[in-house]
């Protein structure tokens, strides 16, 4: 029996690195997955892979979660697919990286919307469904949300993810009496399509940061998804409000 047997899991951004891996692993652990992505092509590919592996999944492409009305409709339709929501896994996000004096106001606002508001919209839409089944919200933060980061200017990305980490705490407080848990996972550097350009051609400052990671390697999507499986499962039924940093120890070194 899988660790998520029978759970209905909505996962956002399943066309990408961590999202695709999450869809595969959650399905392999017995969850019924309902995924979405703004990119219909990569979403279809994930759906194909999960079904080939014997998993149960429904996929919705062309869903732009930065539009609250679109999110509202998607969550309502997604909840209908298998009859409820046990897990809302807010993985999708878009980032803008630029030095603070070069970051445009439009980029700042797009990033806040694409990383922080995106979580609010989905949670707001899913809340009543989660309350019906004592569900769990899994948010994705970042180590950039708990401290400064040396490589690549992450000013707005970090600010948005700090918001996600704090929002998780408030959701835990509001949701607790309803039986809703809310947790956040903050990854360090993970190899995904979004970061492949750095892996393929790392600037010296980036390599230096990796060299200081106590466990001496960068993250793989499975490192994050392993944590998500545990936190979304009933094994974590007395855990809420936490921000679990998964970064090979990179953020604890002085
Ligand atoms: N890769 C890392 O090193 C790292 C580190 C810390 C945090 N994170 C966070 O992990 C999460 C996943 O990152 P990833 O590296 O797998 O990224 P990714 O770009 O590989 O995947 C993100 C997915 O989200 C989708 N998406 C983006 N905007 C969307 C929107 N408006 N509506 C619907 N779908 C949308 C993309 O199409 C993509 O498939 C993100 O929240 C990211 O901020 C990543």
10-56: pLDDT as tens digits:
999 999 999 999 999 999 999 999 999 999 999 999 999 999 999 99
- Rounded CA-CA distance 129/80 in Å is 10
- CB-defined site of ligand 1, < 6 Å: 12-13, 15-19, 37-39, 42, 63-66, 91-95, 114, 140, 142, 187, 189-190, 192-195
Give the mean pLDDT of 117-136.
98
Contact 181, 136 (CB under 8 A): yes
Ligand 1 atom index nearest CA of 67: 31
User: What's the number of CA atoms in the CB half-sphere (13 Å) around residue 18?
Assistant: 31
Instruction: Read off the pLDDT of residues 129-181 as tens digits, 9 standing for 90 and up.
Output: 999 999 999 999 999 999 998 778 999 999 999 999 999 999 999 999 999 99
Describe the crossing of helices 40-52 and 17-28 by its angle, rounded to 10 degrees: 30
- Domain-located, residue 196: yes
- Domain-located, residue 235: yes
What pLDDT sits at residue 226? 98
- Domain-located, residue 23: yes
What is the Å distance from ligand 1's center to 94 Cα?
6
- Domain-located, residue 17: yes
Does the pLDDT of residue 62 top 80, yes or no? Answer: yes
- Rounded CA-CA distance 225/19 in Å is 9
What pLDDT sits at residue 162? 98
What pLDDT sits at residue 150? 77
What is the Å distance from ligand 1's center to 93 Cα?
4
- Domain-located, residue 2: no
| Number of domains within the chain | 1
H helices of 60-117, in order, are 68-82, 105-112
What pLDDT sits at residue 82? 98
Reported residue count of the chain is 254
- Rounded CA-CA distance 129/8 in Å is 11
- Rounded CA-CA distance 37/59 in Å is 8
The CATH code of the domain that includes 75 is 3.40.50.720
pTM: 0.98
Domain that holds residue 117: 8-244
- Domain-located, residue 82: yes
- Domain-located, residue 92: yes
């Amino acid at each position: 029996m899988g660790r998520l047997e029978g759970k209905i899991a909505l996962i956002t951004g399943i066309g990408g690195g961590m999202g695709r891996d999450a869809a595969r692993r959650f399905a392999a652990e017995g969850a019924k997955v309902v995924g979405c992505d703004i990119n219909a092509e990569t979403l279809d590919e994930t759906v194909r892979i999960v079904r080939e592996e014997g998993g149960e999944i429904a996929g919705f492409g062309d869903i732009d979660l930065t539009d609250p009305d679109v999110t509202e409709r998607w969550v309502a339709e997604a909840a209908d697919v298998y009859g409820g929501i046990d897990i809302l896994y807010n993985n999708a996000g878009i980032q803008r990286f630029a030095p603070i004096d070069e970051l445009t106001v439009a980029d700042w606002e797009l990033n806040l919307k694409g990383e922080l508001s995106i979580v609010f919209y989905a949670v707001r839409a899913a809340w009543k469904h989660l309350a019906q089944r004592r569900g769990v919200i899994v948010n994705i933060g970042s180590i950039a949300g708990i401290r400064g980061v040396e490589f690549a200017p992450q000013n707005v990305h970090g600010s948005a993810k700090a918001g996600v980490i704090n929002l998780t705490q408030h959701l835990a407080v509001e949701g607790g009496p309803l039986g809703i848990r809310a947790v956040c996972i903050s990854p360090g550097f993970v190899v995904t399509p979004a970061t492949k350009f750095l892996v393929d051609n790392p600037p010296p400052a980036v390599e230096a940061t990796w060299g200081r990671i106590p466990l001496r390697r960068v993250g793989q999507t499975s490192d994050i998804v392993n944590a998500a499986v545990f936190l979304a499962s009933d094994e974590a039924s007395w855990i809420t409000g936490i921000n679990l940093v998964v970064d090979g120890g990179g953020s604890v070194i002085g």
